[in-house]
Amino acid sequence: MSVDFLGGQGDVSFDTTSTLHPELEYYLRIESPGSGVRGSLSMTWPRVPPHFACDLDDELLVHSHGIAWSNAITDSDANLELSVGNEKLSWSDTVYHDRVWATAYISPENQQSFYWGRGRLGDRCNVIWSSVREQDGKMTNSGSVAADGEIHSAGCECEAVQVKAWAEEGKQSPSPPMPKTPVPVRIAITADLGEENGELCLPLGSSLSIDGGGETLEEHAGWEIAQLPQA
């Protein structure tokens, strides 16, 4: 396919295997001579099977305002090779790829707060979590925990996945933080893995990168945290 890229027309080719294939792969090639950009991105060997938010098969997580989510690559090894002019970039790390459908924007007008994250614990365990508080105060949590390529827990009940965020370290500030409070510096996730495996408690400290924070979304500023005004 042909796309407009950085002000100059270029070619982008995209290849992938089916999500039913046991060794799912994505390969993206970029050729834009007019802008001096060339390179490729490959994502291979997903460590966790593709799944929806609430279940492995057919349960889409749908918040109010029609937000639905699915995950094609939960945790994959990736390689990036990119040339921009005379500068070459090379990068290898873990990556994530999902899809979100919505009938309305994720915005302060529709949600009080929206927290999301994912991570790999060592070489064996992968965690994804989200916590959404609607404008009417309803909480919807979702998450999955996988180890050695097998999902041990996936659900959308608040009892199955609990997410708490604090604005000040060591203090029981409101969770989620109230308006006019700082961006969270500590988030704790607890996932129920069933009677056989118990619970996974995952504390995230102040080194966690969170973009923005406030009551509105600023143009080109990335994600921010929306809260209802105080009564």
Model pLDDT, residue 90: 93
Banded model confidence at residue 64, pLDDT cuts 50, 70, 90: low
Under 8 Å CB-to-CB from 44, ≥6 apart: which residues?
A: 23, 24, 25, 26, 76, 77, 78
C-alpha 197/C-alpha 203 separation (Å) is: 18
Question: How confident is the prediction for the chain on average, in pLDDT?
Answer: 69
Question: How many whole angstroms separate alpha carbon 215 and alpha carbon 197?
Answer: 39
Helix (H, G, I), strand (E, B) or coil at 135: coil
Mean local confidence (pLDDT), 39-64: 70
pLDDT tens for 126-183 read 888 887 777 777 777 787 888 777 777 777 765 667 777 766 655 555 666 655 556 6
What phi, psi does 104 have (nearest 5°)? -150, 160
Confidence bin at 125 (pLDDT 50/70/90): confident
Per-domain residue ranges of the chain: 2-204
Q: According to the model, what pLDDT value does residue 209 have? A: 44
CA angle in degrees (0–180, nearest 5) for 69-70-71: 130
